[in-house]
Amino acid sequence: MDCYQLFRLVVVVSCALVSVMITSFPETSLVFGLSQRTPCEFDAIFNFGDSNSDTGGLSAAFGQAPPPNGETYFHAPAGRYSDGRLVIDFIGFVWQELMPTEESFSRALYTFDIGQNDLTAGYFLNMSIDQVRAYVPDLLDQFTTIIKYIYGEGGRSFWIHNTGPVGCLPYIMDRLLITAAQVDKAGCASPFNEVAQFFNIRLKEAMAQLRKDLPLASITYVDVYSVKYFLISKASKHGFELPLVACCGHGGKYNYNRHMGCGSKIMKNGKQILLGRSCKDPSVRINWDGVHYTEAANKWVFDRIVDGSYSDPPMPLKMACHWVAN
């Protein structure tokens, strides 16, 4: 099965785009229990997810993300909707990069970062919060079907992020009706975060069932919601500012305008003028463009999930090939 076939599978779940982070090492074997663990050695990392973890699929399909995307690390657009690297980039950097072979599918780490698009799409179609919540079980049924398919093709190691606090994203706060009573102490929209938490609870339950259904799979559920919400709610404590305001955008309370986004330009007196500019210092900002995170925030999140502190089971990233008997 080639990468394109895998892409066709995952697009059913969350309009996802495949990004491939490549690594190379000899084959590793699964370890029964935790007492004899050794670091995992993957041939490749295949990532499935929305634009929070897309390293170029969207740009390849619809055109490059415009400047100032990529300004911090790549110093030019690099297919990422951020000023620099994403969480998946930092995951990939744990191992040395090399193109995979046809046999790599059984010796790869499969990472997933889904949920945000699945939930917010319903809101923008004027569905109620209860209606969005109601389709979560069906969504997760489709997702587990895809995991089982990859498992059937030889995939064994899965690193699965839950969805973040969508009610803290500028594009949600700007575009959807939110009353004062619905805003929590961090300034986020509670109803949308509650649905995200409902999704995450059900996702965790689904992963627990998959461990029973797929006895040779190592399935690690990673609670990025808690990490991201903690960062947003305690931003100043960790050296960040304006956690609910986009760094790159144009106008409005949250520096977000869906008609004039990051990198947008207008013609004035025969000249192109950049309106969707980057903020002065992205390294102290959490949100990049109203939808996605800055490199600084992505690195902060990665640093807290890499050791397994927010994982179920509590497995460090380097041990993601190991599984725990139920």
Q: Is 161 a residue of the active site?
A: no
Q: Is 292 a residue of the active site?
A: yes
Q: Which amino acid is at 96?
A: Q
Among candidate residues 54, 89, 113, 289, the one labeled active-site is: 289
Q: Is 289 a residue of the active site?
A: yes
Which of 301, 294, 264, 249 has its CA nearest to residue 72? 294
Beta carbons of 228 and 169 less than 8 angstroms apart: no
Among candidate residues 14, 19, 51, 311, the one labeled active-site is: 51
Distance CA(95)–CA(143), nearest Å, equals 27
Torsion of CA 284, 226, 19, 15, to 10 degrees: -110
Cα 98 to chain centroid, rounded: 23
Reported as type and span, the H/E element at residue 209 is helix 190-213
Among candidate residues 161, 292, 311, 322, the one labeled active-site is: 292
DSSP structure string for 160-207: EE----GGGSHHHHHHS---GGGB-TTS-BHHHHHHHHHHHHHHHHHH
CA atoms in the 13 A half-sphere facing the CB of 269:
1
Helices and strands: H and E segment counts in the chain? 10, 8
Torsion of CA 248, 291, 22, 106, to 10 degrees: 180
By annotation, the residues acting in catalysis are 51, 289, 292
